[in-house]
Amino acid sequence: MFGEFLGYYVQLLAIMNPFSALPTFLSLTEDLDEDLKREIVGKALIASLVLVAVFTLVGNYILMAFNISLPALRIGGGVILMAIAIDMLGGMPRTKRVEAQDIAVVPLATPMVIGPGTITTILLLTSKEPSPTNTGLVLAAGLAAAATTFLLLRYSEPIIRVLRQSTVRAIGRFMSLIIASIAAEMIAYGIIAYYHQVFAPQA
**Over its length of 203 residues, how does the chain's per-residue pLDDT go in tens digits?**
899 999 999 999 988 988 777 776 876 777 788 888 889 999 999 999 999 999 999 987 887 898 888 788 778 878 877 887 787 677 554 444 445 556 788 778 887 788 778 888 898 899 888 799 999 999 999 999 999 999 999 998 888 788 777 787 777 777 778 778 878 888 898 899 888 887 766 55
Domain of 162 in residue numbering reads as 2-202
Instruction: Give the pLDDT score at 87.
Output: 74
In angstroms, rounded to a whole number, what is the distance separating the alpha carbons of residues 112 and 26?
13
CA quadruple 169, 165, 13, 27: dihedral, nearest 10: -100
In angstroms, rounded to a whole number, what is the distance separating the alpha carbons of residues 43 and 37?
10
Nearest to 53 by CA among 141, 152, 116, 151: 141
H-only helix segments in 66-101: 70-89
25-46 burial by CB neighbour count: b if 16+ within 10 A, else e? bbebbeeeeeeebeebbeebbe
H-only helix segments in 17-69: 18-29, 34-65
Nearest to 129 by CA among 29, 40, 59: 59
In angstroms, rounded to a whole number, what is the distance separating the alpha carbons of residues 119 and 36?
28
| Tally of domains within the chain | 1
Cα 58 versus chain centre, distance:
17
CA terminus-to-terminus distance, the chain: 38
Instruction: Give the pLDDT score at 60.
Output: 76
Give 185's contacts (C-beta < 8 A, 6+ positions apart). 78
